Amino acid sequence: MNNIGTFLKTTVVAFLALGAVLAASARERVSFNDSWRFAKGDQQASGASFDDRDWRELRLPHDWAIEGPYDFKYNARTGGLPVVGEGWYRKSFQMPKSAKGKVVSIEFDGAMYGSEVYVNGKLVGKRPYGYIGFQYDISKYLIYGDKENVVAVRLVLEDLATRWYSGAGLYRNVWLQVTEPTRVAHWGTFIKTPEVSDHEATVEIDTRIAHAGRGTFKGSLETEIFDADGRRVASVSSDFATSEDEKTLTQLAKIRNPRRWDTEDPHRYRAISRVRNAKGQTIDFYETMFGVRTIEYTAEQGFLLNGKQTKFKGVCLHHDQGPLGAAVNYRAKERQLQIMKDMGVNAIRTSHNPPSIELLELCDKMGLLVQDESFDVWKIAKVENGYNKFWDEWHEPDLRDMIKRDRNHPSIVMWSIGNEILEQRNTNGEGAALARRLVDICKEEDDTRPVTAGLNHYPQPHDNGFAEELDLVGINYKPSMYAEVLEKYPDRIVYGSETSSCVSSRGVYHLPIEKYEKHESLQVTSYDLIGPVWAYPPDIEFHFQEQNPRIMGEFIWTGFDYLGEPTPYGGRDNSTNGHWNGDWPVHSSFFGAVDLCGFPKDRFFLYQSQWSDKPMVHVLPHWNWEGMEGETIPVYGYTNCDEAELFLNGRSLGRKVKGVDTTRIIVKFKRYDSDHLDSKYRLSWEVPYEPGELTIVGYKAGQEVSRKTVRTAGKPAGVRLTADRSVIAADGKDLSFITVQVVDENGIACPTADNEIHFDIQGGGVLAAVGNGNPASLESFRLPKRKAFSGKALLVVRGKPGASGLIDITASGEGLDSSRISISLEN
């Protein structure tokens, strides 16, 4: 398929080129992201004649809120950033005469929030939910030929509309599509594999044919299936006739010796659907990626993927990308998921809304299981301007559209109809009845996957019929109740849908070790013990999951830190509905096993020690405790090895056995009777401090297999730059993430450094974002400077479209030797 996105400009050359392409192709779907104009403010900008020449020109996806500035007048609960107000986007374009009589559609992968779309001054449609994708047929609103068309989008965001940072604007991709009147409908295929064996897979293809033409259409639908190497493995053709607006055709095909999609080998097949007219000419062409795999859930064995019992080692993820904000970026999502896989993660919960298409595509490719979640709220409000305002009119089309869009992704193994829905407490049966209706909608659109929800109350939803309506029962923060639930309801299939909620700041350690609600530093210790009243250390979940092997695993809150909800500072979820600015400037989450920049916290390695097989050891805290010489420092070791030995300046401080030598940790949360746990998941030593080297060594079967060392650093003297990739595409989208580390004169990382670093970017690159993972920093994500936090910062650069050569970057700071790095660009 030719890329005609570059032709959608107001030039004669573009007009002629687009006409030629449309005449030669049955379906064209092109990026509509370039050359938009944007302005904030309440104005009447829907008309084609509105003068927008003074507006800012930009390329989508775009999140206006991440540009800031931070301000106390904004809600720290939603990141302390301007996720409020009205914004307008406008774009001029031409459509050639050859497109007249065809169906011209505009598709938004998401628009945050309360979108209104106008074409040439006419309202085309409204969509309040910012997380759902939608498409409009704009054929009848267009002027064909050399005249200008204008599409305008109005977005209105209210305060207290979400409980976290949502972003603002056209933050996902926009597409323009031209098809014949008879074509495969929007999200028009559903591919199932009802029978799968090692020798053969039956593939059922349901294809919805949309017909906008007059009279009866007679033709055929041909579907070919190709494997990942491009070999055709099956084909089927069906004749049909229709005069209806929409007709569904069901076809069956067989794949011999199918290669199954799973977490280790995420193989996908490609289905090509061709609609042909009575003359045999192809008038539409539609591609669908899918996987051949089986999923099954039982009360005794839990989740079976291709017949193999599989535990969920999952994380909940919000949709923002830290310093980059909510504007979706394929590479940023890929990096997030790569970091999660390094931790041992095999599953993602899309908290608490439909995810981007990019995330699902990546999970398919990377072998990550997905719980696809629809809503955070139903009819009963959590915040005053939440989705409940639109519930009655929009919940059914939004839920149906989410499933239609996503149901061909093999990574998705369950649908979630809600998170901590307040209706779960209803005793009059209304909550259960509503859950039943939503489950029915899911099954009507997809009868191959189970339906779940995350329940945080106990025992109400289990006793009032709500949980009974679910295929899978998700339990939030009640690990000590697992045994009771399984005993009372032996047929229920249960998992931890949201667990732990431990909070910490990367690289920050407070002594003595104690469990506090808040710390005067507005940071949280990284000894992995602190959490709000409902929360607990990861060890607690490990413990109760081991005691109750029927529990299918967990989804921790959260994999990454996210903007907004700065618990334990500012407020308390679902009971502090107003502004969370009491502990300003704290404005982002501490929940992640990874910080906003993607730098692992110590907790990352605790999960890695339970979820991964590659031998690893980790030791904490850092080893810079000037003025505390001779005082005892608690040292923790995390490992998946049989044993670990700690050395201080070459002297052994003892070898300890994983699972036998325990560490007593402080525990205090609801529904837990003790004030501690003797954790077999951590090793520990009490070490009198002396500067030097602290080394942990891991052993398997008596042989060293892993080691890690932390060293005492001197004064900050320089900067070290490390790029995650040294070559990126010069397409204006690809990114290089550069770790910025403050080091001493010997190159040792300075773990407490907070020097301000300045960045100079030359050549074919531009600044995309900066950050440091500090939840209390009010520094801009968009200026070429950043203070280090716990010794580190992050610089993100992108290549200019069409540039070549190098991006040359220099990092410098007062009293520090500068550092340089180059990123190569490729076209």
Instruction: Report the pLDDT value the prediction gives residue 11, as an integer from 0 to 100.
Output: 32
Q: Hey, how many other C-beta atoms are within 10 angstroms of the C-beta on 526?
A: 24
SS (H, E, C) 709-755: EEECCCCCCEEEEEECCCEEECCCCCEEEEEEEEECCCCCECCCCCC
Token pair 């795999």 is at which residue? 293
Q: Give me the mean pLDDT over the 69-96 stretch.
A: 96
- The span from the CA of 473 to the CA of 785, in Å, is 47
Instruction: Report the pLDDT value the prediction gives residue 6, as an integer from 0 to 100.
Output: 34
Taking Cα atoms as reference points, which of 170, 187, 188, 103 lies closest to residue 137?
Answer: 103
Domain at 5-61+85-157, CATH from 3.40.190.10, 3.30.1330.10, 2.40.420.20, 2.60.120.260:
2.60.120.260
Judged against a pLDDT cut of 90, whether residue 3 lies above it is answered with: no
Judged against a pLDDT cut of 50, whether residue 2 lies above it is answered with: no
The model's confidence at residue 575, banded by pLDDT at 50, 70 and 90, is low
Cβ 326 vs Cβ 81: under 8 Å: no
Judged against a pLDDT cut of 90, whether residue 19 lies above it is answered with: no
285-300: per-residue pLDDT in tens? Answer: 999 999 999 999 999 9
The model's confidence at residue 17, banded by pLDDT at 50, 70 and 90, is very low
Judged against a pLDDT cut of 90, whether residue 16 lies above it is answered with: no
Cβ 817 vs Cβ 719: under 8 Å: yes
CATH classification of 617-711 is 2.60.40.10, yes or no? Answer: yes
Q: Which amino acid is at 823?
A: I
Q: Hey, how many other C-beta atoms are within 10 angstroms of the C-beta on 618?
A: 21
User: What is the maximum span of the chain, computed from C-alpha positions, in angstroms?
Assistant: 90
Q: Give me the mean pLDDT over the 565-584 stretch.
A: 84
Considering the entire predicted model, what is its pTM?
0.96
Q: DSSP per residue over 324-382, as a string?
A: GTTS--HHHHHHHHHHHHHHT--EEEETTS---HHHHHHHHHHT-EEEEE--S--SS-S
Judged against a pLDDT cut of 50, whether residue 269 lies above it is answered with: yes
- The span from the CA of 220 to the CA of 184, in Å, is 12
721-775: per-residue pLDDT in tens? Answer: 999 999 999 999 999 999 999 999 999 999 999 999 999 999 999 999 999 999 9
Domain at 182-260+264-290, CATH from 1.20.1260.10, 1.20.120.420, 2.30.40.10, 2.60.40.10:
2.60.40.10
Burial class from Cβ neighbours inside 10 Å (0-12, 13-18, 19+) for residue 219 reads: buried
What are the residue ranges of CATH 2.60.40.10 in the chain?
Answer: 182-260+264-290, 617-711, 718-826
Q: Could you say which DSSP state residue 169 is in?
A: B
Q: Hey, how many other C-beta atoms are within 10 angstroms of the C-beta on 220?
A: 16
369-410: per-residue pLDDT in tens? Answer: 999 999 999 999 999 999 999 999 999 999 999 999 999 999
Cβ 88 vs Cβ 51: under 8 Å: no
Cβ 76 vs Cβ 587: under 8 Å: yes
pLDDT over 70, % of the chain: 96
Q: Give me the mean pLDDT over the 121-146 stretch.
A: 97
Determine phi and psi for 484, rounding to 5 degrees.
-65, -45
Q: DSSP per residue over 394-435, as a string?
A: HHHHHHHHHHHHHTT-TTEEEEEEEES-GGGG-SSSHHHHHH
Q: How far is CA 125 from the centre of its chain?
A: 27
Determine phi and psi for 467, rounding to 5 degrees.
-60, -30
Q: How far is CA 174 from the centre of its chain?
A: 19
Judged against a pLDDT cut of 60, whether residue 652 lies above it is answered with: yes
* Pairing of the two strands 36-40 and 85-93: antiparallel
Cβ 499 vs Cβ 479: under 8 Å: yes
Q: DSSP per residue over 39-52, as a string?
A: EESS----STT---
Instruction: Report the pLDDT value the prediction gives residue 608, as an integer from 0 to 100.
Output: 98
Judged against a pLDDT cut of 50, whether residue 797 lies above it is answered with: yes
The model's confidence at residue 7, banded by pLDDT at 50, 70 and 90, is very low
To 5 degrees, how large is the angle CA 759–CA 61–CA 290?
120
- The span from the CA of 773 to the CA of 313, in Å, is 24
Cβ 435 vs Cβ 471: under 8 Å: no
Determine phi and psi for 232, rounding to 5 degrees.
-75, 125
Average pLDDT, the chain: 95
Q: Give me the mean pLDDT over the 491-499 stretch.
A: 98
Taking Cα atoms as reference points, which of 99, 91, 111 lies closest to residue 25?
Answer: 99
What are the residue ranges of CATH 3.20.20.80 in the chain?
Answer: 311-605
The model's confidence at residue 14, banded by pLDDT at 50, 70 and 90, is very low
- The span from the CA of 248 to the CA of 12, in Å, is 41
Judged against a pLDDT cut of 50, whether residue 4 lies above it is answered with: no
Instruction: Report the pLDDT value the prediction gives residue 15, as an integer from 0 to 100.
Output: 36
* Pairing of the two strands 805-813 and 756-763: antiparallel
Q: Which amino acid is at 579?
A: H
SS (H, E, C) 89-139: EEEEECECHHHCCCEEEEEECCCECCEEEEECCEEEEEECCCCCCEEEECH
Judged against a pLDDT cut of 70, whether residue 677 lies above it is answered with: yes
The model's confidence at residue 574, banded by pLDDT at 50, 70 and 90, is low
Q: Give me the mean pLDDT over the 435-456 stretch.
A: 98
Burial class from Cβ neighbours inside 10 Å (0-12, 13-18, 19+) for residue 517 reads: exposed
Q: What is the third-level CATH fold of 718-826? A: Immunoglobulin-like (2.60.40)
Cβ 325 vs Cβ 588: under 8 Å: no
Taking Cα atoms as reference points, which of 412, 429, 422, 340 lies closest to residue 377?
Answer: 422
Instruction: Report the pLDDT value the prediction gives residue 427, as an integer from 0 to 100.
Output: 87
Residues 6+ apart with CB under 8 A from 400: 441, 444, 445
Question: Is 491 in a helix, a strand, or coil?
Answer: coil
Burial class from Cβ neighbours inside 10 Å (0-12, 13-18, 19+) for residue 502 reads: buried
Q: Residue 247 pairs with which residues in a beta bridge?
A: 209
Instruction: Report the pLDDT value the prediction gives residue 25, as an integer from 0 to 100.
Output: 53
149-178: per-residue pLDDT in tens? Answer: 999 999 999 999 999 999 999 999 999 999
Residues 6+ apart with CB under 8 A from 722: 738, 739, 741, 821
Question: Is 607 in a helix, a strand, or coil?
Answer: helix
| Element containing residue 543 per DSSP (H, E) | helix 538-547
Instruction: Report the pLDDT value the prediction gives residue 350, as an integer from 0 to 100.
Output: 98
What are the residue ranges of CATH 2.60.120.260 in the chain?
Answer: 5-61+85-157
Angstrom CA distances, 55 to 91, 148, 170, 234, 494, stand at 11, 18, 16, 52, 53
Cβ 612 vs Cβ 702: under 8 Å: no
- Domain boundaries 311-605, CATH class: alpha beta
Taking Cα atoms as reference points, which of 41, 22, 38 lies closest to residue 30?
Answer: 22
Question: Is 688 in a helix, a strand, or coil?
Answer: strand
Which amino acids are annotated catalytic? 420, 498
